[in-house]
Amino acid sequence: MKIITTILAVFFSSILFAQKIDTDYSNNKKRAIKFEFFSPLTGNSTFGYESYIKDWISWEAKVGFIGLGLDPDEVNPSGFFIKGGPKFKLNPDFVTDDLKGSHLLGGKYIRPEIAFAQYSEDIYRFNSGSSTETYREDFTSIAFLITYGRQYILANVMTLDYHIGLGYGYVSSKEGRYNYGYSNGGTDFPVAISAGFTIGVLLK
């Protein structure tokens, strides 16, 4: 008798639990335009676009305009970088009263992404004495990163996102350097890292 009572209790409680979960996300805005908030401080301006696909999966792409930002080292950088990939939601941010995921684009995530940069900079070579030689050098870089982050949705209007990535990379200079959207190690240590903070606006 106790076994039957337990089974019935579990059965009805599971039904009640299922009824409490609200899966109507029709009011969620499923696209966003973003901006890397601190990117101008690092010599570029980076913009992004995210779109929801299905089953807590979205995709995101970014483009950075190298040279559209501060230039404290006075190397006159110019060029671009692109990166992007799918975002896999780890778990939704739940609203505690009805166990509904707060937003389809909100929560922690993992994003595998490919990044590519093409740009040029002024290089200064100090010769003997006080003379300085300046020449222009082109750089090409590519990286594959696994990025972890968390995105907050504010009133179905704005997004706030922080993220950090780690992976492998290559740069044509053979030496480790910052490629404006991410950093690459040299050929002896070809590790790539990235980090950022974005702010965005949601779209229908």
Domain ranges of the chain: 23-203
This model's pTM is above 0.95? no
Sites in the chain below the pLDDT cut of 70:
1-24, 92-101, 128-130
pLDDT at 21: 37
Q: So what's the pLDDT on residue 3?
A: 54
Please state, in angstroms and rounded to a whole number, the distance separating the CA atoms of residues 182 and 166. 10
Residue 110: its pLDDT value, please? 97
Cβ-contact 172, 139 below 8 angstroms: yes
**Distance from C-alpha of 4 to C-alpha of 180, rounded to nearest angstrom:** 64
> Hey, which CATH number is domain 23-203, 1.10.287.110, 2.40.160.20, 3.40.50.300, 3.40.1190.20?
2.40.160.20
Tokens of 45: 């301006």
